Amino acid sequence: MANDGTPYAEQIEAMRKRLSEIRGKITAACAAAGRSADEVTLMAVTKTVDPVLINAAVDAGVTVLGENRVQEFLSKREQYRPDADVQFIGHLQTNKVKQIIDKVSLIHSVDSPHLADAIQKAAAAAGIVMPVLIEVNIGGEDSKSGVEPDAAEALLRYVQQLPNLRADGLMTIPPPLPDEEEQNRVFSQMRQLYDTLREQTPLRILSMGMSGDYEAAIRNGATLVRIGSALFGARIYPQQTA
């Protein structure tokens, strides 16, 4: 694409090129696993990304957006294309649930009955049923949210008895594993958990894989991958003021 003179032209052109490469890698990973590329949703993770670039991604066909932070999302949402499907993927504090309950289509990060109860209360007040994913801490990291794998079924059952929640699947953020063999091992564990729970419950989403490991995640059954820096470039965080 030629530079059209806008301040974001070069960034948009670079984003579109990266998007084409990502789509090619998704297709190849699906083919390697005997899957159709239509089985995998590409989510654009929008943390620190300018709405102009986000909308350019939507124009290019990436219609699912992943938000990490409530306040940042609320500050940008009015600038998004109206056809964008916005989902919340970050750690969600119970006192902020009501701020997003009617503004997102799916919450990926349910990691406790306490949070599930807060979503239930807010969803009931809004008169909606909120689809959610159970977040699993597949790597057992103290620094990350999510239930231990052996506690996922109990939390899933708890969510299922809440009338204004619908459990659609599982989500995980694994440890950073540059070795492909280790990536496959961890993602395979998550896939096995997903398949086990799906034998009893009609789950449909396995959200795993990010910029550094989405190909391995797809080969191991991911139905949704969350891509930020590989699509938009390195994140630029605002400077903290004293």
| DSSP letter string, 174-218 | -----SHHHHHHHHHHHHHHHHHHHTTS---EEE---TTTHHHHH
- Give mean pLDDT, residues 224-242: 77
**Tokens 């490991």 map to which residue?**
213
Q: Residue 87: its pLDDT value, please?
A: 98
Question: CA angle 23-139-35, nearest 5°?
Answer: 30
The domain of 144 spans 9-221
Mean pLDDT of 105-128: 98
Label residue 123 exposed, middle or buried (CB < 10 Å: 0-12, 13-18, 19+).
buried
Beta strand residue intervals within the chain, DSSP E: 41-45, 64-67, 85-88, 107-110, 130-136, 165-172, 205-207, 224-227
Q: Per-residue pLDDT for 72 more than 50?
A: yes
pLDDT grade for 5, boundaries at 50, 70 and 90: very low
For residues 19-27, give the mean pLDDT.
98
Higher pLDDT, 87 or 8: 87
Q: Which residue has the higher pLDDT, 207 or 235?
A: 207
| CATH code for the domain in which residue 214 is found | 3.20.20.10
> Given the structure tokens 């989403």, which residue do they identify?
205
Residue 168 included in any domain: yes
Residue 122 lies in a domain: yes
**Is position 238 within any domain?**
no
